Amino acid sequence: MQHIIKGNEPQELTDWKRQNPSGTYDDLRIERRIIRQSCLDEQKYLCAYCCELIELDNGKSHNEHIKPRKRYPQLSLDYNNIVASCESNKNCKSNKHCGRKKDNADIPFTPLMPACEIELEFTYSGRVRGLTQPAKDTINILNLNNSVLMKKRKRSILNLITVHYGIDGNNPPHLTNEDPKLLNLLKNELKQAKNGKLYSFAPILVNIIHHT
Protein backbone atom coordinates (compact mmCIF):
# COMPACT_ATOMS: atom_id res chain seq x y z
CA MET A 1 0.00 0.00 0.00
CA GLN A 2 0.89 3.62 -0.29
CA HIS A 3 -0.48 6.20 2.10
CA ILE A 4 -3.37 8.05 0.45
CA ILE A 5 -4.17 11.60 1.49
CA LYS A 6 -7.73 12.43 0.56
CA GLY A 7 -8.49 15.85 -0.84
CA ASN A 8 -11.74 17.71 -1.30
CA GLU A 9 -14.57 15.81 -2.91
CA PRO A 10 -15.33 16.63 -6.56
CA GLN A 11 -17.59 19.65 -6.95
CA GLU A 12 -19.99 17.54 -9.01
CA LEU A 13 -20.52 15.22 -6.02
CA THR A 14 -21.03 18.18 -3.67
CA ASP A 15 -23.61 19.66 -6.05
CA TRP A 16 -25.39 16.32 -6.48
CA LYS A 17 -25.68 15.78 -2.72
CA ARG A 18 -27.06 19.27 -2.30
CA GLN A 19 -29.67 18.65 -5.00
CA ASN A 20 -30.47 15.13 -3.77
CA PRO A 21 -30.51 15.29 0.05
CA SER A 22 -32.13 11.85 0.30
CA GLY A 23 -30.03 10.32 -2.47
CA THR A 24 -27.83 7.25 -2.08
CA TYR A 25 -24.73 5.97 -3.86
CA ASP A 26 -26.95 3.68 -5.95
CA ASP A 27 -28.60 6.78 -7.41
CA LEU A 28 -25.35 8.17 -8.79
CA ARG A 29 -24.67 7.94 -12.52
CA ILE A 30 -21.88 9.92 -14.24
CA GLU A 31 -20.83 11.13 -10.78
CA ARG A 32 -19.35 7.67 -10.08
CA ARG A 33 -16.85 8.10 -12.89
CA ILE A 34 -16.00 11.61 -11.71
CA ILE A 35 -15.37 10.27 -8.19
CA ARG A 36 -13.11 7.53 -9.54
CA GLN A 37 -11.13 10.02 -11.64
CA SER A 38 -10.55 12.17 -8.57
CA CYS A 39 -9.41 9.12 -6.57
CA LEU A 40 -7.03 8.04 -9.35
CA ASP A 41 -5.48 11.50 -9.42
CA GLU A 42 -4.90 11.30 -5.65
CA GLN A 43 -3.48 7.78 -5.91
CA LYS A 44 -1.36 8.54 -8.98
CA TYR A 45 -3.27 5.80 -10.82
CA LEU A 46 -2.24 2.97 -8.47
CA CYS A 47 -4.69 0.58 -6.82
CA ALA A 48 -5.33 1.67 -3.23
CA TYR A 49 -4.48 -1.79 -1.91
CA CYS A 50 -1.95 -3.58 -4.14
CA CYS A 51 -0.40 -0.57 -5.97
CA GLU A 52 -0.82 -2.04 -9.45
CA LEU A 53 -1.21 0.57 -12.20
CA ILE A 54 -4.90 0.92 -13.07
CA GLU A 55 -6.99 2.91 -15.53
CA LEU A 56 -10.22 4.88 -15.36
CA ASP A 57 -12.18 2.85 -17.90
CA ASN A 58 -12.13 -0.49 -19.73
CA GLY A 59 -13.02 -2.41 -16.58
CA LYS A 60 -9.63 -1.66 -15.00
CA SER A 61 -10.85 -0.08 -11.76
CA HIS A 62 -13.85 0.51 -9.55
CA ASN A 63 -14.93 2.80 -6.73
CA GLU A 64 -14.11 1.01 -3.51
CA HIS A 65 -15.73 1.85 -0.17
CA ILE A 66 -13.22 1.20 2.60
CA LYS A 67 -16.13 0.89 5.02
CA PRO A 68 -18.53 -1.27 2.96
CA ARG A 69 -21.56 0.73 1.92
CA LYS A 70 -23.93 -2.18 2.57
CA ARG A 71 -22.87 -2.19 6.20
CA TYR A 72 -22.25 1.53 6.56
CA PRO A 73 -24.87 3.20 4.32
CA GLN A 74 -24.31 6.50 6.11
CA LEU A 75 -20.79 6.56 4.62
CA SER A 76 -21.72 5.57 1.07
CA LEU A 77 -21.44 9.16 -0.20
CA ASP A 78 -18.54 10.13 2.04
CA TYR A 79 -15.68 10.88 -0.34
CA ASN A 80 -13.17 10.19 2.43
CA ASN A 81 -14.42 6.60 2.46
CA ILE A 82 -13.92 6.01 -1.27
CA VAL A 83 -10.75 4.97 -3.10
CA ALA A 84 -10.02 3.42 -6.49
CA SER A 85 -9.26 -0.31 -6.52
CA CYS A 86 -8.17 -2.68 -9.26
CA GLU A 87 -10.44 -5.22 -10.90
CA SER A 88 -9.05 -8.67 -10.08
CA ASN A 89 -10.37 -11.82 -11.76
CA LYS A 90 -14.02 -11.98 -10.76
CA ASN A 91 -14.44 -15.50 -12.10
CA CYS A 92 -11.55 -17.10 -10.24
CA LYS A 93 -12.07 -17.14 -6.49
CA SER A 94 -8.44 -17.94 -5.65
CA ASN A 95 -7.16 -14.95 -7.68
CA LYS A 96 -9.57 -12.36 -6.34
CA HIS A 97 -7.83 -9.68 -4.36
CA CYS A 98 -8.13 -6.11 -3.15
CA GLY A 99 -11.61 -4.56 -3.32
CA ARG A 100 -13.28 -7.47 -5.08
CA LYS A 101 -11.97 -9.87 -2.46
CA LYS A 102 -12.78 -7.62 0.49
CA ASP A 103 -16.40 -7.24 -0.60
CA ASN A 104 -18.37 -6.40 2.56
CA ALA A 105 -15.66 -7.15 5.09
CA ASP A 106 -14.04 -4.64 7.40
CA ILE A 107 -10.28 -4.24 7.23
CA PRO A 108 -8.39 -3.11 10.35
CA PHE A 109 -5.58 -1.56 8.34
CA THR A 110 -6.25 0.89 5.49
CA PRO A 111 -4.27 2.98 2.96
CA LEU A 112 -5.55 6.10 4.73
CA MET A 113 -3.29 5.24 7.68
CA PRO A 114 0.33 6.48 7.43
CA ALA A 115 1.46 3.22 9.08
CA CYS A 116 0.49 1.31 5.92
CA GLU A 117 3.91 2.21 4.49
CA ILE A 118 5.70 0.91 7.58
CA GLU A 119 3.80 -2.06 8.99
CA LEU A 120 3.73 -3.96 5.69
CA GLU A 121 7.03 -5.45 4.52
CA PHE A 122 7.61 -6.69 0.97
CA THR A 123 10.24 -9.05 -0.43
CA TYR A 124 11.79 -9.52 -3.87
CA SER A 125 9.60 -12.60 -4.35
CA GLY A 126 6.55 -10.32 -4.34
CA ARG A 127 5.33 -11.60 -0.97
CA VAL A 128 4.13 -9.20 1.70
CA ARG A 129 4.08 -9.82 5.42
CA GLY A 130 2.41 -7.86 8.17
CA LEU A 131 4.49 -6.59 11.06
CA THR A 132 1.42 -6.18 13.28
CA GLN A 133 -1.71 -8.28 13.73
CA PRO A 134 -4.00 -5.72 12.03
CA ALA A 135 -1.63 -5.69 9.04
CA LYS A 136 -1.62 -9.52 8.90
CA ASP A 137 -5.40 -9.67 9.08
CA THR A 138 -5.71 -7.11 6.29
CA ILE A 139 -3.33 -9.05 4.04
CA ASN A 140 -5.51 -12.12 4.46
CA ILE A 141 -8.80 -10.29 3.90
CA LEU A 142 -7.50 -8.63 0.72
CA ASN A 143 -5.68 -11.81 -0.43
CA LEU A 144 -2.54 -9.80 -1.13
CA ASN A 145 -0.36 -12.92 -1.28
CA ASN A 146 -2.21 -14.80 -3.99
CA SER A 147 0.15 -16.30 -6.56
CA VAL A 148 -0.91 -14.18 -9.56
CA LEU A 149 -0.44 -10.90 -7.70
CA MET A 150 2.89 -12.04 -6.23
CA LYS A 151 4.22 -12.86 -9.72
CA LYS A 152 3.16 -9.43 -11.01
CA ARG A 153 4.90 -7.70 -8.12
CA LYS A 154 8.09 -9.73 -8.53
CA ARG A 155 8.25 -9.03 -12.27
CA SER A 156 7.65 -5.33 -11.75
CA ILE A 157 10.21 -5.05 -8.94
CA LEU A 158 12.96 -6.67 -11.01
CA ASN A 159 12.02 -4.58 -14.04
CA LEU A 160 12.25 -1.35 -12.07
CA ILE A 161 15.61 -2.37 -10.63
CA THR A 162 17.26 -3.52 -13.85
CA VAL A 163 15.69 -1.63 -16.74
CA HIS A 164 15.08 1.78 -15.21
CA TYR A 165 17.96 2.07 -12.80
CA GLY A 166 20.74 -0.23 -13.97
CA ILE A 167 21.11 -1.98 -10.62
CA ASP A 168 21.86 -5.69 -10.69
CA GLY A 169 18.45 -7.36 -10.53
CA ASN A 170 19.65 -10.89 -11.23
CA ASN A 171 20.67 -11.18 -7.62
CA PRO A 172 18.22 -8.87 -5.79
CA PRO A 173 19.80 -9.16 -2.31
CA HIS A 174 22.79 -7.41 -3.94
CA LEU A 175 20.71 -4.27 -3.48
CA THR A 176 21.82 -4.24 0.15
CA ASN A 177 25.37 -3.55 -1.05
CA GLU A 178 24.42 -0.54 -3.16
CA ASP A 179 25.55 2.96 -2.26
CA PRO A 180 22.98 4.44 0.18
CA LYS A 181 23.00 7.65 -1.86
CA LEU A 182 22.02 5.69 -4.97
CA LEU A 183 19.24 3.93 -3.08
CA ASN A 184 17.91 7.24 -1.78
CA LEU A 185 18.00 8.64 -5.30
CA LEU A 186 16.16 5.57 -6.56
CA LYS A 187 13.58 5.89 -3.79
CA ASN A 188 12.97 9.56 -4.54
CA GLU A 189 12.62 8.93 -8.27
CA LEU A 190 10.11 6.16 -7.65
CA LYS A 191 7.94 8.62 -5.74
CA GLN A 192 7.82 11.05 -8.66
CA ALA A 193 4.78 10.70 -10.90
CA LYS A 194 5.13 11.07 -14.66
CA ASN A 195 2.08 12.48 -16.39
CA GLY A 196 0.25 12.05 -13.11
CA LYS A 197 1.09 8.35 -12.82
CA LEU A 198 3.57 6.29 -10.83
CA TYR A 199 5.16 3.10 -12.14
CA SER A 200 3.12 0.01 -11.40
CA PHE A 201 4.04 -1.30 -7.92
CA ALA A 202 6.62 1.50 -7.45
CA PRO A 203 5.72 1.93 -3.74
CA ILE A 204 6.55 -1.76 -3.25
CA LEU A 205 10.16 -1.23 -4.30
CA VAL A 206 10.29 1.91 -2.13
CA ASN A 207 9.14 -0.30 0.76
CA ILE A 208 11.87 -2.84 0.03
CA ILE A 209 14.53 -0.13 -0.04
CA HIS A 210 13.16 1.27 3.23
CA HIS A 211 13.57 -2.12 4.90
CA THR A 212 17.00 -2.80 3.33
In DSSP notation, 11-32 reads HHHHHHHHH-TT--GGG-SHHH
172 pLDDT tier (thresholds 50, 70, 90):
low
* Amino acid making up residue 198: L
Per DSSP (E only), the strands in the chain are 61-65, 82-86, 120-122, 128-130
- Listed range (23-27, 39-43, 141-145, 177-181) with the worst mean pLDDT: 177-181
pLDDT at position 58 is: 80
pLDDT at position 210 is: 79
Write out pLDDT tens, residues 124-166: 889 999 999 999 999 999 999 999 999 999 999 888 877 666 6
CA count, 13 A, side-chain hemisphere, 78: 12
Q: Read off the pLDDT of each residue in 4-29 and give the average, rounded to a whole number.
A: 95
Spatial distance between the Cα atoms of 210 and 192, rounded to a whole number of angstroms: 16
Write out pLDDT tens, residues 75-109: 999 999 999 999 876 656 667 899 999 989 999 99
pLDDT > 70: what percent of the chain?
Answer: 89
Per-residue pLDDT for 211 more than 80?
no
pLDDT at position 165 is: 64
Per-residue pLDDT for 169 more than 80?
no
Per-residue pLDDT for 176 more than 90?
no
> Which residues share a beta bridge with 122?
128
